[in-house]
Structure 1
Amino acid sequence: MKAGIEPHYFGDDTKKIIHGDALSELKKLPPESIDLIFADPPYNIGKDFDGMVESWDEELFLAWLLECIRECHRVLRKHGTMYIMNSTENMPWIDLQCRKLFTIKSRIVWAYDSSGVQAKRFFGSMYEPILMMVKDPKRYTFNSSEILVEAKTGAKRALIDYRKNPPRPYNTQKVPGNVWTFPRVRYLMEEYENHPTQKPQALLERIILASSNPEERVLDPFAGSFTTGAVAIAYGRKFIGIEVNGEYIKMGLRRLNVSSHYSSEELVRIKRRKTNNLSKKSRES
């Protein structure tokens, strides 16, 4: 929510990084030009993003967020897919608004463990919700064979499925359900970047492999640590990333190997621990 910033553009048609305001830049994109959108917009819960603290009037924030979602719907192809994630507090409202524009195919829970104290007077949050939604509920990309996981119950116990004729062993693989267990990105992990809400590479791999094909275009309007872009490029997709924070733009330029006016010294990766971020406002009590 930083309107008025002078945008800068890096890269080419294969991988494009836009340093600018998400809503303003979304409005510039052609209609139905994107095959897959992954949106991880601000949660408005007091996080400090390298000096940009997300703490806005709730009514203004929600109005802005809804306009961003509408623009995402406009730029998404007829048979495209959009994923959006946000806080447990905001998601019920987001869900209701998105139902007016999209068909929601899955309500996903990204569950993770925590080494710290979550809360002392209520049950702390150990997950973040994600919506998978489409424009056309009968035709959209879902590459189930690309994201198979181990089917633990029947296959590991060598059970026989007697419902089949003839009976045969249970499958050893299956399509994941809607509860995804990926660890949060920690300081000692190789993929760690200096970003307070970095999403795991494995989470983006599942989304991109499932809901897009090689050469198709993936958009992340709140690119942050540019994990979406790094995964998209690694799997042969095209990518557009929009980000308002200049420090995170440098991450994207380095991770996607996009040329710019920055020197190699300015783009060098120096890991810092995430120590200055506020916890959820609701936990302060």
Structure 2
Amino acid sequence: MTYQRKEVIGNATLYLGDCLHILPTLAPVDHVISDPPYEDELHAAVGKFATLRNDGKSYASNRLTSFGFEGVNADRSAIAAECVRLSQGWVILFTLAEGVRAWRDDLQAVGAKYDTCLAWVKPDSTPRMNGQGAARGFECAVTAWCAPGHRSWNAGGKRGVYTHLVNNPERTGQHPTEKPRRLMAELVADFTKPAQVVCDPFMGSGTTGVAAVQAGRGFIGIERDHAHFNLACRRIEDAQRQGNLFMGDPA
């Protein structure tokens, strides 16, 4: 068996296991939207400076000493290949600025049409506490089109800049790289259509799944960490009960 556990929650199917083992067994979906591990360079720097936090409140206390997973460099090309094979529309993958070109090259190498780089602006991002240069104030997301013909999205000529607080009132604080629900809701609204299926191979605490099911999309999520998987199950189950409570309010 390629997965350790499978949960079906309404129109969401969640797998506990390694995405590189599970993705090849899945049938095509409409879109892939995910936040893979960061580049190895950032993983190597974690814990050296008080520039990362995991509680949303303190710069110095409770700082991360490890993300709990490896950097993406060694698996990037394999991840890109599976995402492109799976998607019949968009592939959207978060990355640091340092990883944009590498993701573009790997996505194009397996036939995707690279589109552009989105920016998630973080007004409350952590300052650079050693004062030796600028802090990271934004994160990137590469976008690539995997279907024949013209690209399709719902936002006309909108700029690909998304501004959302990291430490918002909905933040659980239980995952080191948790994305804001409103950020993911805005991406789902811009790039997907009702009843389409979104896959997140690096589900984490389930924020993409929450945004998808609240917007009336199907969802397939994969996560290998037991605690994060259990958290995602609870959050997505809650989102299924709430339905479209947050639809129309992604900002």
Q: What TM-score do the two structures reach when normalised by structure 2?
A: 0.77
Give, as a single letter, the amino acid of the residue that structure 1 aligns with 2:34: A
Q: In structure 1, what is the Cα distance between the partners aligned to 2:158 and 2:151?
A: 18
Q: C-alpha displacement at 1:12, in angstroms?
A: 5.7
| Greater alpha carbon shift after TM alignment, 12-21 vs 67-76 | 12-21
Q: In the alignment, which residue of structure 2 is the partner of 1:97?
A: 106
> Which of 201, 207, 213 lines up with 1:227 in the alignment?
207
Q: C-alpha displacement at 1:194, in angstroms?
A: 1.1
Q: In the alignment, which residue of structure 2 is the partner of 1:184?
A: 166
Q: How many residues align?
A: 216
> Which of 89, 111, 117 lines up with 1:107 in the alignment?
117
Relative distance call for 1:6 and 1:238 in structure 2 (3 A) is closer
Q: In the alignment, which residue of structure 1 is the partner of 2:34?
A: 39
Please tell me whether Structure 1 or Structure 2 has the larger radius of gyration of its CA atoms.
Answer: 1
Q: C-alpha displacement at 1:232, in angstroms?
A: 0.6
Specify the SS of the correspondent of 2:25.
coil
Instruction: Please tell me whether residue 218 in structure 1 is matched to residue 201 in structure 2.
Output: no
Q: In structure 1, what is the Cα distance between the partners aligned to 2:67 and 2:223?
A: 12
Q: In structure 1, what is the Cα distance between the partners aligned to 2:138 and 2:33?
A: 18
Instruction: Please tell me whether residue 117 in structure 1 is matched to residue 121 in structure 2.
Output: no
Q: C-alpha displacement at 1:203, in angstroms?
A: 1.5
Q: C-alpha displacement at 1:42, in angstroms?
A: 0.5
1:181-222 CA-to-partner distances (Å, cap 9, x unmatched) read 211134xx1343411111111211121112221111110000
Q: In structure 1, what is the Cα distance between the partners aligned to 2:10 and 2:172?
A: 27
Runs of 5+ consecutive residues of structure 1 not aligned to the other structure: 146-174, 259-285
Give, as a single letter, the amino acid of the residue that structure 1 aligns with 2:68: V
1:220-272 CA-to-partner distances (Å, cap 9, x unmatched) read 000011111011111111100000111111111111118xxxxxxxxxxxxxx
1:76-95 mapped onto 2 (5 Å cutoff)? 76-77=87-88, 80-95=89-104
Runs of 5+ consecutive residues of structure 2 not aligned to the other structure: 47-53, 55-63, 239-251
Instruction: Please tell me whether residue 237 in structure 1 is matched to residue 217 in structure 2.
Output: yes
- Percent identity reads 23
Q: In the alignment, which residue of structure 2 is the partner of 1:20?
A: 17
> Which of 65, 69, 73 lines up with 1:54 in the alignment?
69
Relative distance call for 1:228 and 1:99 in structure 2 (3 A) is same
Q: In structure 2, what is the Cα distance between the partners aligned to 1:201 and 1:38?
A: 13
Relative distance call for 1:52 and 1:109 in structure 2 (3 A) is closer
Q: C-alpha displacement at 1:137, in angstroms?
A: 6.6
Relative distance call for 1:217 and 1:55 in structure 2 (3 A) is closer
Q: What TM-score do the two structures reach when normalised by structure 1?
A: 0.68
Give, as a single letter, the amino acid of the residue that structure 2 aligns with 1:9: K
Q: In the alignment, which residue of structure 1 is the partner of 2:58?
A: none
Give, as a single letter, the amino acid of the residue that structure 2 aligns with 1:98: L
Specify the SS of the correspondent of 1:90.
helix
